[in-house]
């Protein structure tokens, strides 16, 4: 379903406004993996290791310097911050249906498909369509972001820290919703999180990323029961226990 082959993305960072000192950040430095249809590939790793850059390369928001990404079908992305990613001046109907307006679909069809998408994320209250993002809770806003991704009926969705900004009590509801959607529509996920417990709950296969590279890829079971790489062990050891 998804095939990522030796992709690289380097950024050049200047050390200050008036200096010519430049530093190359190897955000993604030769990453390869594949995801089977209907499965979840969980991507974990510390802050700044290149997860979001990888997500952008896979969804085509960024172009890789080297390497290739092959996808079998439509892809969409859901970001971490459900406030920042939803335009506060647009109604829910406009936000969720935006891609269809751009394609010039007629109004009735758009409204029907927006309602279908909202029903899929269990936001089917009849006056949802005319409300604005600030009238919803964080969890509801993330459902709206998911509904927006679902409007294309994508076969593959990249979820970049989809629950990280949410209260723990809200997280489970979103994670279970994502699992239900996957079951019903056999959607493939790339699920990104720095929270290893969340990754374990969601994933079939897990990749551990460090400084732009994948240091270990294994089934979720093996990653947690018999981690091979030292960094994986370090991450597992630092999971807080309650
Ligand atoms: N547009 C950009 N220009 C320059 N450097 C960038 C750019 N985007 C990312 N970087 C750098 O690339 C590295 C990887 O960033 P990225 O956002 O992919 O990390 P991440 O794993 O998603 O981190 P987090 O867990 O904090 O979200 C970082 O050092 C970051 O500063
Ligand atoms: Mg990120």
Q: Mind listing the pLDDT tens digit for each residue in 8-64?
A: 999 998 877 777 788 899 999 999 999 999 999 999 999 999 999 999 999 999 999
CATH of 1-73+155-242, one of 3.40.50.720, 3.30.499.10, 3.40.50.300, 3.40.605.10: 3.40.50.300
**Percentage with pLDDT > 70 across the chain:** 98
Per residue in 157-179, pLDDT (tens digit) is 999 999 988 988 899 999 999 99
Centre of ligand 2 to C-alpha 47, Å, is 7
**DSSP-derived secondary structure letter, 143:** H
Pure H helices in 92-159: 92-102, 107-120, 138-150
The SS3 of residue 162 is coil
Query: CATH 3.40.50.300 residue ranges in the chain?
Result: 1-73+155-242
* Long-range contacts (CB closer than 8 Å, 24 or more residues apart) made by 25-29: 26/211, 26/212, 27/53, 27/212, 28/53, 28/54, 28/57, 28/64, 28/212, 29/211, 29/212, 29/213
Question: Residues with beta carbon < 5 A to ion ligand 2?
Answer: 51-52
Query: Which is the closest atom of ligand 1 to the Cα of 13?
Result: 4
The SS3 of residue 219 is strand
Centre of ligand 2 to C-alpha 160, Å, is 7
| Residues pairing with 77 in the sheet | 158
**Nearby residues of 99 by Cβ (< 8 Å), 6 or more positions away:** 148, 151, 152
Q: How far apart are CA 53 and CA 169, in angstroms?
A: 28
Is the CB of 49 inside a 6 Å radius of any atom of ligand 1? yes
Model pTM score: 0.92
């Amino acid at each position: 379903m998804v095939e990522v082959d030796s992709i690289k993305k380097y950024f050049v960072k200047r050390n200050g406004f008036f200096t010519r000192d430049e530093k190359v950040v190897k955000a993604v430095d030769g990453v390869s993996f594949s995801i089977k249809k209907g499965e979840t590939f969980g991507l974990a790793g510390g802050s700044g290791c290149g997860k979001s850059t990888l997500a952008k390369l896979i969804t085509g928001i960024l172009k890789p310097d080297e390497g290739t990404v092959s996808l079998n079908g439509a892809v969409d992305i859901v970001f971490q911050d459900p406030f920042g990613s939803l335009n506060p001046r647009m109604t829910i109907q406009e936000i969720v249906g935006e891609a269809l307006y751009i394609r010039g679909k007629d109004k009735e069809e758009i409204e029907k498909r927006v309602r279908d998408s909202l029903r899929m994320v269990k936001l089917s209250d009849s006056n949802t369509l005319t409300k604005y993002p600030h009238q919803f809770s964080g969890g509801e806003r993330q459902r709206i972001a998911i509904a927006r991704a679902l409007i294309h009926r994508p076969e593959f969705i990249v979820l970049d820290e989809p629950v990280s900004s949410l209260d723990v009590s809200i997280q489970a509801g979103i994670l279970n919703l994502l699992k239900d959607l996957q079951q019903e529509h056999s959607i493939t996920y790339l699920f990104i999180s720095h929270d290893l417990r969340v990754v374990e709950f969601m994933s079939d296969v897990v990749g551990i990323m460090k400084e732009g590279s994948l240091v270990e890829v294994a089934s979720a079971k093996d990653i947690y029961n018999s981690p091979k790489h030292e960094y994986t062990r370090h991450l597992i050891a630092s999971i807080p226990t309650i």
